[in-house]
A = this chain, B = another copy of it.
């Protein structure tokens, strides 16, 4: 199934805009799991199974697996999601970006090796660096636009001068270019941080109903009401609002998965209160 189609179905079926970020860190795992073999897979799979009916997507962050030499666990985790929760979109958060044949290899890593439904990418290298991903019309291509960190302003908020976006910041030019020129297959989405909801709203003005992946609520302090106000589409969707730590580390005991479920439920309902 196409990523965009499965995302839309998950929004409806689960009445949820929550994206569950899977960022396993050994020191934060529940004590009873920490010394088990395969703890990372066991932990993440339990979170997935406890929250799948409350989420619109799962987003494993690849560095958390790579730093642990746990690529094989990541492969099994994504296979587990596809097997146990068919139709749930999996976004590989990798923020890759390179040119030519190397871009092909990164596309192969994300879509063939890991079987992800979508991947996050960095647009700085331009259109040809993204083309091998765009060409996979059934896959989602989620490009960094305005990120949630303070340093995001260093370059993304520089004012650029050209006929397309005279006097507008770079992140808006990136959004406009992707919406106008890169989205032939309708498989693009953007990353816009919850910490700058008015800038997220500026992006929404430029891109129609293209989905936004929104990190930065919870630990980073983004305001859910403002994100919904500025970012939702007319039908009350258009957003994948990510929470990682707030859900997966909601509990640290043997009931960690139930604690994650309670946190996901609360976030879904908080979002839904501002959604319509």
Contact = CB atoms under 8 A, between A and B. Distances in A.
Interface stretch (A31-39, A43-51, A79-87, A106-114): A106-114
A126 B152 contact: yes
A12 to B, nearest CB: 30
Interface in A136-151: 144, 147-151
Contact of A154 (B96, B113, B144, B177): B177
Contact of A170 (B113, B152, B153, B158): B158
A99 interface: yes
Contacts of A162: 158-159
Interface residues of A, number: 53
A151 to B, nearest CB: 3
Contacts of A272: none
A266 interface: no
A187 interface: no
Interface of A: 23, 25, 61, 63-64, 66-67, 69, 71, 95-102, 105-106, 108-109, 112-113, 122-130, 144, 147-156, 158-162, 167, 170, 173-174, 177
